[in-house]
Each structure stands twice: as C-alpha cells, then as structure tokens.
Amino acid sequence: MAGIKRKKLRRTWQRWSILGAVIFILAVVGFRWTANAPVMPSQEKEYALYVHDTGLTTAEVLQSFFAKENLHSPAALEALNALRRNPIAQRGHYTITAATGRMQLLRKLEFGYENPVWLRMRGYQSREDIAEGWVAQFDYPKDSAMKALEVLGFEQLVPNSYQVYWSYAPEALVEYLQRAHAAFWNAEREGRAAHLKLSPREVVILASIVQAETKQAEEWPRVAALYLSRLHMGKRLEADPTAVFAYKQVYPNTGVIRRVTHVISGIDHPYNTYRNKGLPPGALATVEPQVVDAVLSAQPNGELYMCADPQRPGFHVFARTYSAHLQNAARYHASLNRRGIRR
C-alpha cells in the first residue's frame, strides 16, 4: 500500500512539475512577446522623441510624447516601465518606428541609446548664423553656442552634412567639427597648399574671399589665381568682399551694398585688403569645400585685375595691365550709373 501511494504522489508531482514548467515557459514567451512587441505596430509614420530635461522619468517623457502626438499610450508599455522602476530618461533624440519594440524603447531612454540627427553646415555663414542654427536645432542657450564657436574659426569649419548626436554639448560639437576638419585636410590637399606656398588656414581665408567674390564655379580657380599672383608679388589684394566685410563690422546696421565706394574701400580695419597687404586675419565666412579645392587647383597666369562684367551679370572680366583694367572698370561704372546704383 505504501508503495502504491508513493507512486501516485510521484505521478502527481510529475504532472504538477510538467504543468508548472509549461506555465513558466508560456509566461516567459508571453513576457518576451509583450516586451518585444512594437510600441506602435499600426503607425507607419516615424516619430521623433526629444528629451530636453535630464530630470524627467521615462514615464513622464512617454506621457508627454503620447499626449503631444495625440496617441494612446499602450498599457503594456506602462506596465513594463513600472517593472523597470521607472528610471530617469537620458537627454537625447530618439526615433520611434513601427518596428521599435517596447523594451527597446525603454532601454534607449534609460541608457541614452540615441538616434543621430543630421547637422548641415553651409557655406557663406557668419558665426551668428551658425549659433542661431545650433540654438534652433539643439536647444542650446545662444551664449553657450557663441562661446563654443569662439575657439572654432571659420578656417576650421568644413561645410557638409554630418551625423551627430542631439545630446552633444556645444563644446563636443566643436570637437567633432575639428576632427572633420583634420580629416578634410589630407596629405594631398596639404601638399597642394604647400605648392601654392600657403598653409591650409591661408587657403581657406583666400577661398572665403573667392567665394564672396563670385558665385560662378567656373570662375573660382581664375579669381584665386589672380589673388595668388597679387599676393606673391607683394601687391595689396584690393578685394571688394574684404572691404564690405570690414565696413559691416564697423557699421553692422548697413544694408545691402551693391557698389563699393571710396568710403567703403577706405575703411580702417584689419580685414580691408585695400589698406592692408597680405591676407586678412581670418576667413570672411564658412567656405564650401568645392571652393577650397578650386583654390588649390588655381594656376596663376599673369592676370592681376578684374571687374564685374556689365554684359554678363555675375561674371567678371580680367586684365593683365592696369590700363586695360581701367577701361573695364569705366564700362562697369557707367552701367551702374545708368541703373542709378550709387551704393
């Protein structure tokens, strides 16, 4: 009798063990399915979630996000977050797609696994322009952005599209751009700069003048060659963009300047190459890489003067002698006079 009872108990224990194991496996499978299920499986749109305040919990961040997007917060997501003890969310930019799992999103927020954003650095930008762009994109205080940019001259900025993290501090963003600058100036470009007897920094300064002088890509090497000839001969560059830049530094509220008068070209300022020999102290603005490469490919051909072409707006006429230049300049000034352009 005792043996029969033991066998029954053993069978009962085995049945309960098997049932318990099945329940456990089903619970694990169910939990994993719940945890890995998409946050918003029916949503085709990709959502961007920004965490601005580093003191917010994941629950606060998610509640704000779903309310802002007018979406229903999944109860399973809230339950999973409660099991994780509602940790603090890390500052950053996170994307939510139809494939983003619930646990994946919670881990991203807790540990700061960000999705990068595109930073577009354009040419022809002033330091003020860059700072305002960073304020709008990264939510920086403007004074922090301006302070970080003080250590980053235009000569160290290579306009391009960069993938960066939204949580970067302004100083980290500057360091990233400095590394991009170092990568741009490879051995080939440095060698071409040395052939022109210029440093990479001087090449960018000259390129900023060329870029401001003409928007025509076909003219960039020719304009650069002209300035290189004047530079190596010890002549003042007498570049209109430097005079305009200097004048606007002294008189920042000046509007659009369409004619460079003697008042403008005579302004006393270190950037004005009508008054100072050599290159200005720094670049006039950020410079597109294509313009830098055009300067590096420039081949001086004896041209020392240029003037806007009244027959082809946006283009220039070039001259090797001062007398020929005076004739070109007279035609251009006559064109300005006919159109009533005095400044």
Q: List, for residues 98-157, the tens digit of each pLDDT value.
A: 888 888 999 999 999 999 999 999 888 888 899 999 999 999 999 999 998 888 777 888
In the numeric block, the tokens 């329940």 are attached to 23
27 pLDDT tier (thresholds 50, 70, 90)? very low
Least confident of 30-39, 73-82, 204-213, 265-274: 30-39
16 pLDDT tier (thresholds 50, 70, 90)? low
Give the residue among 288, 153, 325 at the shortest CA–CA distance from 212. Answer: 288
pLDDT at 287: 93
pLDDT at 2: 58
Q: What is the DSSP letter of 37?
A: S
Contact 139, 102 (CB under 8 A): no
pLDDT at 207: 96
Q: What angle do CA 109, 115, 116 make, to 5 degrees?
A: 140
Q: Give yes or no for residue 11 having a pLDDT over 70.
A: no
Separation in Å, CA 123 to CA 117, 157, 319: 19, 9, 29
Extents of the domains making up the chain: 47-111, 117-184, 187-338
160-164 and 117-121 beta bridge pairing: antiparallel
Q: Give yes or no for residue 23 having a pLDDT over 90.
A: no
Label residue 127 exposed, middle or buried (CB < 10 Å: 0-12, 13-18, 19+).
middle
Structure tokens at 172: 């980290």
Contact 87, 58 (CB under 8 A): yes
Backbone angles phi, psi at 118, to 5 degrees: -90, 130
197 pLDDT tier (thresholds 50, 70, 90)? very high
| Amino acid at site 290 | Q
Report residue 87 CA to chain centroid gap: 32
Q: Give yes or no for residue 24 having a pLDDT over 60.
A: no
Q: Which residues contact 303 (CB under 8 A, 6 or more apart)?
A: 222, 225, 226, 229, 318, 319, 320
284 pLDDT tier (thresholds 50, 70, 90)? very high
Least confident of 6-15, 19-28, 129-138, 302-311: 19-28
Contact 31, 102 (CB under 8 A): no
Q: What is the DSSP letter of 57?
A: B
Q: List, for residues 212-258, the tens digit of each pLDDT value.
A: 999 999 999 999 999 999 999 999 999 999 999 999 999 988 888 88
Separation in Å, CA 151 to CA 82, 155, 161: 45, 11, 21
Contact 311, 332 (CB under 8 A): no
Residue 244 host element (H or E):
helix 240-250
Q: List, for residues 52-95, the tens digit of each pLDDT value.
A: 987 899 999 988 888 887 766 678 888 888 988 999 999 999 99
Q: List, for residues 293-328, the tens digit of each pLDDT value.
A: 999 999 999 999 999 998 898 899 999 999 999 999
